[in-house]
Structure 1
């Protein structure tokens, strides 16, 4: 059985952990959380490893997590993590943490011939031949006391991260992709946009907003911001405060009074005086706002050309990923591909698009430009990947 980790339940213990991480310049880190009925993930346990030492930091028993947020933001300490998106969002929403110097084993794996969506168990078995005995995947981490099996499960989530990272880094270096992986991890997890929860950007997440007038779009910005702020204050999912269709209807109707609000389908009688006043103020403010930039409208001529080119671009992307032994999900999804082709066909600036910069441009973007220009073609192979890209 693995060695039991040390429990931390107070500020002194947290200070010991962060001091050890700073002295080493690196640590492994993971969290256990619940995210079902709250605005932000409810952090129930934070696991940190430095060398052979593993700590389980228990905020529900009184351990403060602010120092760990500062550690995550410290560029002098590298945080070795696996699939850290929700962990980092939790620290961002609770403590305003902007992560720095993070290494994600899941993303790194996608650059060395493995999937970029593998679980930690699967990755450890594939790379280190380590098999975890995990039976606590669906534990209620908010219940105390923790069982011994839960403590060992939590510790195992960080126990093998350092050797896993070392092995992945060796593979990245051998393939010349260390910079590719570092750039992708930074883009995903260490930018101001990655934490989420920005009220001013909340309108972008509202579904079915496309048919609103420009003035209604402006109102939507403030109504969505009100919902985001209210959800955070109540610590509830934004959809519990108001569902997307109702948000869209409020923006469309632009109500001026409480009675106007009550006429909107889906509004019900759930709004109190404070919410009603704040929502009406949001609508009024939106009416004075400059509308956001209009959604892109692709001319039919360009759309048809892109549709035709995409029939070749999709297999071309697959060929490049197979040849490079690179996880396709890291390179581009269909929306990225179509948007890039639209820009190429319309002779727009490509440098702001993912496929128009960095390693993606080198791997695929330049080929797509040549494809649109008629300078490359696809032909059949007798063996996998059965298609090859040729200059014309």
Structure 2
């Protein structure tokens, strides 16, 4: 039976926990973060750690300077002497790299272990894996919670703790199964490769939008610049881009571009901020005739130089 959950909200508490955790041979870890659902960008909302005795929930939101205040913990994540047990860790380690420049060392990923057993689903959730391997059913009802909202509920805190409480037992059980199959070295190689995973910025994120298949090739530059303007407004408002206007509206606006200020004011589904200066004027400056069919170029047309000039 583990100790009660420790909910940490100050730099001093983080430092005290790190002093304890750095002596552990291994820690189980998970992150809760918001990825363009409630705020702009990828925002760390919670760090869960279990050392075999105590589950820690480390809340970065109340910290005065999270990058500085979390450094004692980040030092442990970088330390190859301490094993870090995750489940499906790529999103977590990419966020740590992108936001904090932290490169995690000595990783064991239970998802990797399970995949190498080649028993069934290659993308099994933690809840299903706990049930399949340990016979324990955990409540996953808080999975889609708003993890940036405070205070956290008791249900959220228990959900978050459950994400790390069973990882040691899972990792040990799966390690034994892999050893019986002679696949231990496979897992070691795959887990070691995770240390080299790095975040890389997508210079043309608009090409990942499904809506690009609903436009003509010559309309892609306009599609791109509407995407970039939406992103600019979303960043200013600290809201996800879909709250500025929905993804499906992007190709619709390109195919039937409003031609003047009044048409933009009447356009449906746009955030009110877009219908006020300076953004309204910037939208009105867009003209499909000003774009030439060069979808691969990254420079902005002269008619939308406001984007590079900062509006």
Normalising by structure 2, what TM-score? Answer: 0.67
Q: Distance in 2 between matches of 1:10 and 1:179?
A: 36
1:29 touches 1:79 (CA, 8 Å); kept in 2? yes
Secondary structure, counterpart of 2:215 in structure 1: coil
Shift of 1:152: 4.5
Q: How many angstroms apart in 2 are the aligned matches of 1:212 and 1:137?
A: 38
Among 148, 155, 163, which residue is 1:157 paired with?
A: 163
Aligned with 2:278 (options 267, 274, 288): 274
Uncovered stretches (5+) of structure 1, i.e. residues with no partner? 294-392
Deviation of 1:154 (Å): 3.1
- Give the Cα–Cα distance (whole angstroms) in 2 for the partners of residues 282 and 103 of structure 1: 50
Contact persistence 1:72–1:79 (CA under 8 A): no
Question: Structure 1 residues 202, 34: closer, same or farther in 2, change over 3 A?
Answer: closer
**Deviation readout 1:155-176 (Å, 9 max, x if unpaired):** 3321221232233334445235
Map residues 232-271 of structure 1 onto 2, 5 A cutoff. Answer: 232-252=235-255, 258=261, 261-262=264-265, 267=270, 271=274
1:287: Cα distance to partner? 4.2
SS in 2 for 1:56: strand
Cα distance between partner residues in 2 of 1:7 and 1:233 = 32
Please provide the CA RMSD for this pair: 4.3
What is the match of residue 58 of structure 1? 59
CA distances 1:18-59 after superposition (whole Å, capped 9, x unpaired): 455555575321234567533346654321123534322133
Q: What residue is the counterpart of 1:207 in the other structure?
A: 210
Q: What is the aligned counterpart of 2:175 among 169, 177, 186?
A: 169
Tell me if the contact between 1:37 and 1:237 (Cα under 8 Å) persists in the aligned partners. Answer: yes
Partner SS state of residue 31, structure 1? strand
1:144 aligns with 2:120: no
Give the match's secondary structure for 1:208: helix
| Residues 33/279 of structure 1: CA separation in 2 closer, same or farther (3 Å cut) | same
Q: Aligned equivalents of 1:72 and 1:223: distance in 2?
A: 43
1:14–1:210 Cα change, 3 Å: same
Q: CA deviation at 1:109?
A: 1.2
Which residue of 1 is the match for residue 84 of structure 2? 79
Q: Which moved more, 1:200-209 or 1:56-65?
A: 56-65
Q: Does structure 2 conserve the Cα–Cα contact (< 8 Å) formed by 1:6 and 1:55?
A: yes
**1:107–1:117: 8 Å Cα contact kept in structure 2?**
no
Summarize the Cα distance change of 1:73–1:56 in structure 2 as closer, same or farther, 3 Å threshold: closer
Gaps of 5+ in 2: 298-311
Contact 1:14 1:64 in 2 (8 A): no
Counterpart-to-counterpart distance in 2, 1:7 and 1:151: 9
What is the rounded CA distance, in whole Å, between the counterparts of 2:146 and 2:212 in structure 1?
37
Q: 1:57–1:63: 8 Å Cα contact kept in structure 2?
A: no
Alpha carbons 1:33, 1:41 under 8 Å: kept: yes
Does the CA-based 8 Å contact 1:200-1:225 persist in structure 2? no
Secondary structure of 2:213's counterpart equals: coil
C-alpha distance after superposition, 1:273-315 (max 9, x if no partner): 133355567879x94895228xxxxxxxxxxxxxxxxxxxxxx
Q: Distance in 1 between matches of 2:187 and 2:285?
A: 50
Residue of structure 1 equivalent to 2:109: 104
* Alpha-carbon distance, 1:105 to partner: 1.8
1:238 Cα shift?
1.7
Note if contact 1:200-1:221 (Cα within 8 Å) is conserved in structure 2. no
Q: Which residue of 1 aligns with 2:226?
A: 223
Q: Which has the higher contact order (CA 8 A, sep 6+)?
A: 2
Aligned to 1:191: 198
Residues 219 and 97 from structure 1, CA distance in 2 versus in 1: closer, same or farther, beyond 3 angstroms?
Answer: farther
Instruction: State the match for 2:296 in structure 1.
Output: 292
Give the TM-score taking structure 1 as reference length. 0.56
Cα deviations across residues 329-386 of structure 1 (Å, max 9, x unaligned)? xxxxxxxxxxxxxxxxxxxxxxxxxxxxxxxxxxxxxxxxxxxxxxxxxxxxxxxxxx
